[in-house]
Amino acid sequence: MAVVVWLREGTWPACADAARDQLPADGRTVLLHVTDPETAETARAAGAGLLGRAAPAGLDPAARIDRLAADLSRELLDAAAARLGRPCERRSVTGRPERTVTDAAAEADLLVCARDGDRSRPGPHSLAPATRFVVDHAPCPVLLVWPDAPAGPPRGPGG
């Protein structure tokens, strides 16, 4: 069985726990973290919008955001792999999350992801737009889990 586990800040522990506790250990597990490029693109556009003056070389805020995002992704994947406690592939990808996850799930027998919307509102509001897209368009069955705590501000591997 090939399983893709979509890890997001704030909900990743529930996904790692579900994969560890609910799925057979002898299959192929891919831990997937997707970094949305929109934040870095916004920083890059803001710099260019300052009367056409870009930041000097080495001070590009978008490049710094890219480095920080890569560090966070690596830490999150390492923490999730430790929590999973079995061999797995770690995949860090930059792209539109909803499209990237559905593309990655094309090779899977199961996709694991978490609810990440407003837990006080049942129904579609319990899923953020990207997760709603993934649930609606995944090319394989989806295991949708509740996070341990309501999704709030992004949490990294330590919390």
pLDDT value for 126:
81
In terms of pLDDT, which residue wins out, 86 or 153?
A: 86
Identify the pLDDT of residue 21: 94
| Contact of 46 with 37, CB cutoff 8 Å | no
Rounded Cα distance, 110 and 103, in Å: 13
Question: In the chain, where are the structural domains located?
Answer: 2-49+62-145
Each residue of 11-27: pLDDT tens digit? 999 999 999 999 988 98
- For residue range 93-152, list pLDDT tens digits in order: 999 999 999 999 998 999 999 998 777 777 777 888 999 999 999 999 999 999 875 545
Q: Assess whether pLDDT exceeds 60 at residue 29.
A: yes
If you count DSSP H runs as helices and E runs as strands, how many of each does the chain have, helices first?
Answer: 5, 5
Residue pair 144/114 in contact by the 8 Å Cβ criterion: yes
Distances (CA, A) of 53 to 40, 49, 50, 58: 17, 7, 6, 14
Class of domain 2-49+62-145: alpha beta
Q: Which residues contact 156 (CB under 8 A, 6 or more apart)?
A: 9, 72, 75, 76
Question: Tokens for 30?
Answer: 């891919």
